[in-house]
Amino acid sequence: MARDTSDHTSIGSIGDLTDYLAQGCKPEAEFRIGTEHEKFPFFCDSHAPVPYFGEASISGLLKGMQAAQGWEPIMDAGNIIGLAEPHGMGAISIEPGGQFELSGAPLESLHQTHDEAAEHLAILKTIADPMNIRFLGMGGSPQWSFDETPKMPKSRYAIMTRYMPKVGSHGLDMMYRTCTIQVNLDFSSEEDMRRKMQVSMKLQSLATALFAASPFTEGKPNGYLSWRGEIWRDTDNARSGLLPFTFNPDFGFKDYVKWALDVPMYFVVRDGKYHDCTHITFQQALDGALKGEVADWEPNMGDWANHLSTLFPDVRLKRFLEMRGADGGPLSRIAALPAFWVGLLYDSEALAAAETLTRDWSFAEVQALRDAVPVQGLSAAFRGGRLADVAKDVLAISRRGLKNRARLNAAGKDEAVYLDPLDEMLVRGKVLAEDMLAEFHGAWRESVEPAFGAWQY
């Protein structure tokens, strides 16, 4: 998230919180695609991570991008921590370990998504080249230890860094040593939200398997295809993972609000200062727990929006739905991830087919799949077969959905072209992480150093 929200509107009732989510409903004609992707900056000569301060630095990259694009700087305690397009058409932010993120504009087609990512990377290259910096497209940091990883001067991250070790074993790894590709998609009604939430929650582990690209940690294989997927199994389970209540046939906005109210907060922002609120839930804040601790102690709608941004389920509900299961990867995957989900969720025929395929999948089955995928990937067992068999069916549904959308590029190709790398992968029977491991044990001669060349932007 590029910028924490400031909205001083008072909260009159729990209904206001539900209404906040419901206000995301929009006509299908106004549906958009918002894609986010993160990458690891590194120095070309040493493969060392890039620090925040200095001439060749994260702050230098941000200032260079500001000059190149004219976007507005986002500041935190005097430090530049991101950029915002002046008309709300995208943002650049930094993750805790210096991961460089583009939060893309709300776009109408996947062709625009692909072009947006390519343009961003091209502009960034002109800024990074004089600094001898490149960017790594993988889901997990393959070489640097936690201590070697730089720490960004962002107030919310300081609060999270103190809190994470109290609630899970992998929270700091999640913050500092992972990258993701994510897509944000719209809904037209509460029912439409429910249908999309249920399908995507059930299929999120398939996305983790298809996009698995984090098989190394600190210079050697870590035993996982998606180390990032494993990390999310024990980061902060009060706010992460699968949500059982979303499987209910009458799931709605109020159910998500009820869950969110009972999750510990991270912070509130008052007069530009971040106040640690990890000791209370949002419900307790509503009940007056911050009285005497913080000026303007009553929570407001900005606090609610920020709280929603600190919840990390596999599919996150805000005024849109966020698909959160995929590892970071190369440009082809930055386009393939939104293509996968748009094909399934933005076409009525495809959504109905995906619902039919997954309708009787139980929570226990989906949880078991989520537990198996980080190690086994598409080889994970499911209902007498392998997840790879399910993948073929789901990709066929997604491809049909994209063809039905009939959004053509200048060459006359529809959006299904962006699924080609996933189909090719299934034909070969290997995901990116398995390709990386094969190279490690072969041409790379048991070293992860060549990964910085092979998978760089």
State whether residue 64 is helix, strand or coil. Answer: helix
Residue 342's H or E segment, with its range, is: helix 331-345
Using the Cα atoms of residue 403, residue 404, residue 408 and residue 411 in order, give the sign of their dihedral: positive
Average pLDDT over residues 52-59: 98
Average pLDDT over residues 352-376: 98
pLDDT digits (tens, 9 = 90+) for 272-281: 899 999 999 9
Partnered with residue 220 across adjacent β-strands are 217
Which amino acid, one-letter code, is at 49? P
Look at residues 347, 306, 343 and name the one whose alpha carbon lies nearest to residue 418: 343
Rounded to 10°, the helix 387-405/363-376 angle is: 100
Whether residue 1 has pLDDT greater than 50: no
Contact 299, 308 (CB under 8 A): no
Terminus-to-terminus CA distance in the chain, angstroms? 22
Contact 49, 146 (CB under 8 A): no
419 contact partners, CB below 8 Å, separation of at least 6: 336, 339, 340, 343, 395, 398, 399, 402
Average pLDDT over residues 92-111: 98
Average pLDDT over residues 158-164: 98
Task: Write down the pLDDT at residue 448.
Answer: 98
Q: What is the CATH number of domain 14-25+35-454?
A: 3.30.590.20
Separation between Cα atoms, residue 226 and residue 204, nearest integer Å: 13
Domain coordinates in residue numbering, the chain? 14-25+35-454
* Range list of β-strands (E), 150-205: 180-185
Look at residues 384, 396, 385, 383 and name the one whose alpha carbon lies nearest to residue 426: 396
Whether residue 4 has pLDDT greater than 80: no
What is the pLDDT of the chain when averaged over all its residues?
Answer: 97
Tokens standing for 289? 């727990």
Predicted confidence band at 3 (pLDDT cuts at 50, 70, 90)? low
Percent of residues, the chain, with pLDDT higher than 70:
99
Whether residue 102 has pLDDT greater than 50: yes
Whether residue 2 has pLDDT greater than 80: no
pLDDT digits (tens, 9 = 90+) for 390-443: 999 999 999 999 999 999 999 999 999 999 999 999 999 999 999 999 999 999
Task: Write down the pLDDT at residue 363.
Answer: 98
Task: Write down the pLDDT at residue 346.
Answer: 98
Look at residues 243, 173, 237, 181 and name the one whose alpha carbon lies nearest to residue 212: 181
pLDDT digits (tens, 9 = 90+) for 139-153: 999 999 999 999 999
Predicted confidence band at 6 (pLDDT cuts at 50, 70, 90)? confident
pLDDT digits (tens, 9 = 90+) for 215-266: 999 999 999 999 999 999 999 999 999 999 999 999 999 999 999 999 999 9
State whether residue 136 is helix, strand or coil. Answer: strand
240-241 vs 312-313, strand pairing mode:
parallel
pLDDT digits (tens, 9 = 90+) for 270-316: 998 999 999 999 999 999 999 999 989 999 999 999 999 999 999 99
Whether residue 389 has pLDDT greater than 50: yes
Whether residue 337 has pLDDT greater than 70: yes
